[in-house]
Amino acid sequence: MSKDKDRTIYRRSSDNKWVDKRNDAGRGFVFDTQAAAIASGREKLVNAGGGELTVKGRDGKIRSKDTLGGGNDPMPPRDREH
């Protein structure tokens, strides 16, 4: 179950660009690099008061998830990636 402000980063297959999209939106912001899309998603989540950022790899599988900004991160002490 996703909340309105949660975001997903994924690669668009039509032109291999990276997309930062709010989960309940029809369109997203397009970037040339995955790093730029992740930075955009993080900034937008923090400005919106927090939420979950899901990053998918080139293969479309979930690469990582991160809870940002005041959210209830399920594993804060063990999460060494962020």
pLDDT-derived band at 60, boundaries 50, 70, 90: very high
Domain ranges of the chain: 7-64
64's tokens: 């990582």
Residue 3's pLDDT is 64
pLDDT-derived band at 43, boundaries 50, 70, 90: very high
This prediction has a pTM of 0.80
Max alpha carbon distance in the chain (Å)? 39
Which one is predicted more confidently, 12 or 73?
12
Yes or no: say if 81 and 73 are a contact pair by the CB < 8 Å rule.
no
- Hey, is 40 helix, strand or coil? helix
52's tokens: 């979950």
How many angstroms separate the CA atoms of 66 and 54, rounded?
Answer: 7
